[in-house]
Amino acid sequence: MVTDPAGRLRASIRSIPDFPRKGILFRDITPLLLSEKAFGEAIDLLYDRYRGRRVTKIVSIESRGFILGSVLAYRLGAGFVPVRKPGKLPAETIREAYTLEYGEDTLEMHTDAIGNGDNVVIVDDLLATGGTAVAASRLVERCGGTVMELAFLIELSFLGGREKLQPRPVFTLINYADELQ
């Protein structure tokens, strides 16, 4: 029986080799989401970290980040802000381009979602190379919000994403220090 929270949560993550393409070891959170106990524990750990810290908004990156972020926002009594790929949000947006290993992509957020003085936690399922998290942070900061911390269910620390997010604080529940763990 695994007694530490990270170990228990890690036990509910499925590793799928060669998905979405050959050479990638995909960390599938679906079994964690299917387990009332594991999903509840992940949300409880995040809630315990941020309760009482005056978080006004939870910003989450599509799509799996929405699952964690919306529940956490509800628990904290904070607003929920979706950050999406271009053309998915109906009102006026701001956009931020970021670099990927194989090109560029863009994220958008409603212009009225974050205001001056908002205390924001950015929540996503996975921190890999950090590009999407940096872009989401820049969107929040451009709108006058303060990124209190970025929180992830899983970090693939061997890809160096945390370093790209500095000096912003980063918190993760599960860390894979190398690809084969």
Q: How many residues does the chain have?
A: 181
Catalytic residue among 36, 92, 101, 104: 101
CB within 8 Å of 162: residues ≥ 6 apart: 127, 130, 155, 170
Sheet holding 57-61, edge to edge: 79-83, 57-61, 119-127, 146-156, 170-176
Catalytic residue among 8, 49, 64, 138: 64
Catalytic residue flag (residue 53)? no
Catalytic residue flag (residue 64)? yes
- 3-state DSSP assignment of residue 14: strand
Write out the catalytic residue numbers: 64, 101
